[in-house]
């Protein structure tokens, strides 16, 4: 991988994290920070992705209830993953309105705390511990790169890395077909996602308010990558590194392989965000 | 994985080894042990599997030539892997006779040393370093398990583990459809492979003479597993551990999952032998 990119790469393998993604960090930080009385009423989310499993695990760790609102047509693997971790699933219609309404109803009925998947300072701080650990493990870096979805991981990464290494370059990557964060960072106006359509399903979310502020303040460079580059980078990591990463995790690798950001000869930290994929539907297989 | 097997498992991830398989160990040990004058004439093999890439790397490490005899119809990925590591490929007809003749011709012409993929004491000793490292890393084990092909890894594992931990149980696993080592171990007569037909392509070889002696002397138990169990174990490792292993590496995991060997509550070392797979042809995909 170093030869292909022309840099010295240090990967933080969050695909090997509990629940298969970095999301376990933010969920634990948010859940463990709750006051005793508030925590006792449980937590809730209407995200059905990696955050749902992460919140279920964090709640189980603290011994409280996690209520997970999911569309009735959610993939069986996601339902099973939440169930195995002890999350209480509430099914709803597959619209964002129905999901928000179902979550609000649980908050009203139980006094449970809604833990947002990314637009929450405690969640963002938790995600930043991946960069902290990487820097503690391998020392000084010239640059660090992560993919951007809602901005939770990128925001936390930026804060942690800049604090520990003031001279580090903070780099972001996003699919060109879901580039709302890129456009927001460039323009200074938080832009909504316009029909994001990318194989990197974890990055279809719109940049959050906190993420927007942190990216504007701390990012040094930002690359967008094609769907083909994402698939090629994902496959290369599987083949060469022998680890399973999901398409979202390949986005930062794709940015480096494409040469969209100059890191020649540098020491670069790369956050591989997760490894939750459907092994029956791999993106390099003919449809 | 621990919950599914009912034991505490410690994996030695040789899929993450250089060249993607444990074979790098034996090849390096054999090549580095050669006298200077002998080494200068190069090394040769007619194995086209993981040993070919391993020998190419070991020869490059020592700065000598590696001659790799391969059938003209070898998969492009294997040819590319050997080329990238600097091996000199000699193509031949796809029969074992043609391969042996081509290798013998190189030995005669150049004085190169034939390094057998498994039936060689230095190769076997090198493979045993995987178990040595595992025990150094995680301490006492009640048992250790590895798959058996030609017996190089299993033989080296058995010698190393029994020496370091005299009370350890040495366990072997083999595909039921390529069970020559199992039959040899049971009967005390080294049996030839009878049309081995298994997805675990690294284990189709016949048990070597050295491996046979070591298995008879040191093995405590031996399980054979079905093709279905191999595929299920391989897929489970990919899904749960987020690492890419090849079918041969899944055979030991399959033996534990099947409950074919009693390890309840024990600390068990598992050698995951390699991760070289064709990502376009995964065994759980419909033909």
pLDDT at B76: 83
Query: SS3 for B157?
Result: helix
Residues A48-81 pLDDT 10s: 789 999 999 999 999 999 999 998 888 888 898 8
Residue A281 contacts B where some CB pair is shorter than 8 Å: no
Closest by alpha carbon to B214, among B129, B117, B125, B134?
B125
pLDDT at A48: 75
Distance CA(A96)–CA(A48), nearest Å, equals 11
What pairs with residue B88 in β-bridges? B67
Radius of gyration, alpha carbons of chain B: 18
User: In chain A, which ranges are continuous DSSP H helix?
Assistant: 2-5, 23-32, 36-39, 50-62, 76-84, 96-110, 121-127, 129-138, 152-164, 180-187, 209-218, 227-236, 247-257
| Residues on chain A touching B15 (C-beta within 8 angstroms) | 242
Q: Which chain A residue shows the shortest CA-CA distance from B276?
A: A239
pLDDT at B78: 85
Chain A closest-CA separation from residue B25 CA (Å): 18
pLDDT at A225: 97
Q: What angle do CA B61, B114, B148 make, to 5 degrees?
A: 90
pLDDT of A287 > 80? The answer is: no
Of B239, B241, B245, the CB nearest to A279: B239
Residue A244 contacts B where some CB pair is shorter than 8 Å: yes
> Residue A112 — pLDDT band, cuts 50, 70, 90?
very high
Whether residue A211 contacts residue A155, with contact meaning beta carbons closer than 8 Å, is answered with yes
pLDDT of A84 > 70? The answer is: yes
Chain A closest-CA separation from residue B20 CA (Å): 8
User: In chain B, which ranges are continuous DSSP H helix?
Assistant: 2-5, 23-32, 36-40, 50-62, 76-84, 96-110, 121-127, 129-138, 152-164, 180-187, 209-218, 227-236, 247-257
Interchain CB distance below 8 Å, B279 and A239: yes
Residues A212-255 pLDDT 10s: 999 999 999 999 999 999 999 999 999 999 999 999 999 999 99
Supply φ then ψ for residue B163, to 5 degrees: -65, -45
Interface test with A, best of B242, B273, B280, B286 (most A CBs within 10 A): B242
pLDDT of A7 > 70? The answer is: yes
**Max avg pLDDT among A189-203, A266-280, B273-287:** A266-280
**A vs B: CB pairs below 8 A:** 39
Query: SS3 for B171?
Result: strand
pLDDT at A274: 97
pLDDT at A94: 87
Residues A157-185 pLDDT 10s: 999 999 999 999 999 999 999 999 999 99
pLDDT at A286: 64
> Residue A154 — pLDDT band, cuts 50, 70, 90?
very high
Consecutive sets of 10 residues in chain B, 287 residues long: mean pLDDT of each? Answer: 96 97 98 98 91 97 97 86 94 90 96 97 98 98 97 98 98 96 96 87 92 98 97 97 97 94 96 95 80
**Angle between helix A129-138 and helix A23-32 axes, rounded to 10 deg:** 120
Q: What pTM value is reported for the model?
A: 0.95
Residue B1 contacts A where some CB pair is shorter than 8 Å: no
Of B20, B242, B245, the CB nearest to A16: B242
Going A115 to A20 to A16 to B128, the CA torsion angle's sign is positive
> Residue A22 — pLDDT band, cuts 50, 70, 90?
very high
Chain B closest-CA separation from residue A244 CA (Å): 5
Sheet of B267-272, strands arranged across: B8-13, B267-272, B143-147, B169-175, B221-225
A268 CB-near residues (< 8 Å, 6+ apart): A5, A7, A8, A9, A10, A141, A142, A143, A144, A145, A256
Distance CA(B211)–CA(B222), nearest Å, equals 14
A6: left (phi over 0), alpha (psi -120 to 50) or beta: left
pLDDT of A155 > 90? The answer is: yes
CA distances from B29 to B18, B54, B62 (A): 14, 11, 11
Interchain CB distance below 8 Å, B242 and A238: no
pLDDT at B77: 81
Q: Which long-range contacts (CB under 8 A, 24 or more apart) does B105-108 make?
A: B106/B44, B106/B67, B106/B69, B107/B44
Strands A267-272 and B88-92: unpaired
Interchain CB distance below 8 Å, B243 and A242: yes
Interchain CB distance below 8 Å, B279 and A20: no
B89: left (phi over 0), alpha (psi -120 to 50) or beta: beta
Interchain CB distance below 8 Å, B20 and A235: no
Q: Mean pLDDT across chain A, nearest whole number? A: 95
């Amino acid at each position: 991988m170093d030869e292909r990119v022309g840099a010295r790469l240090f990967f933080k393998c969050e695909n090997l994290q509990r629940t298969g993604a970095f999301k376990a960090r933010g969920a634990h930080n948010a859940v463990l920070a709750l006051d005793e009385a508030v925590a006792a009423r449980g937590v809730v989310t209407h995200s059905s992705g990696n955050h749902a499993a992460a919140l279920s695990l964090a709640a189980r760790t603290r011994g409280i209830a996690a209520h997970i609102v999911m569309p009735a047509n959610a993939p069986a693997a996601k339902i099973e993953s939440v169930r195995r971790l002890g999350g209480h699933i509430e099914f709803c219609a597959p619209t964002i309105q129905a999901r928000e309404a179902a979550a609000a109803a649980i908050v009203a009925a139980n006094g449970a705390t809604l833990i947002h998947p990314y637009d929450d300072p405690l969640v963002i701080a938790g995600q930043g511990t991946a960069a902290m650990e990487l820097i503690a493990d391998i020392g000084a870096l010239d640059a660090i790169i992560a993919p951007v979805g809602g901005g939770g991981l990128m925001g936390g990464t930026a804060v942690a890395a800049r604090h520990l290494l003031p001279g580090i370059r903070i780099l972001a990557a996003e699919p060109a077909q879901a580039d709302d964060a890129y456009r927001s960072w460039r323009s200074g106006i938080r832009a909504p996602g316009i029909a994001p359509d990318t194989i990197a399903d974890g990055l279809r979310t719109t940049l959050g308010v906190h993420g927007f502020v942190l990216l504007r303040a701390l990012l040094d460079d930002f690359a967008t990558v094609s769907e083909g580059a994402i698939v090629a980078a994902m496959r290369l990591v599987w083949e060469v590194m022998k680890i399973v990463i999901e398409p979202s995790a390949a986005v930062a690798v794709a940015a480096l392989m494409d040469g969209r950001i100059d890191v020649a000869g540098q020491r670069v930290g790369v956050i591989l965000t997760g490894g939750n994929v459907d092994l029956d539907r791999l993106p390099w297989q003919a449809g």
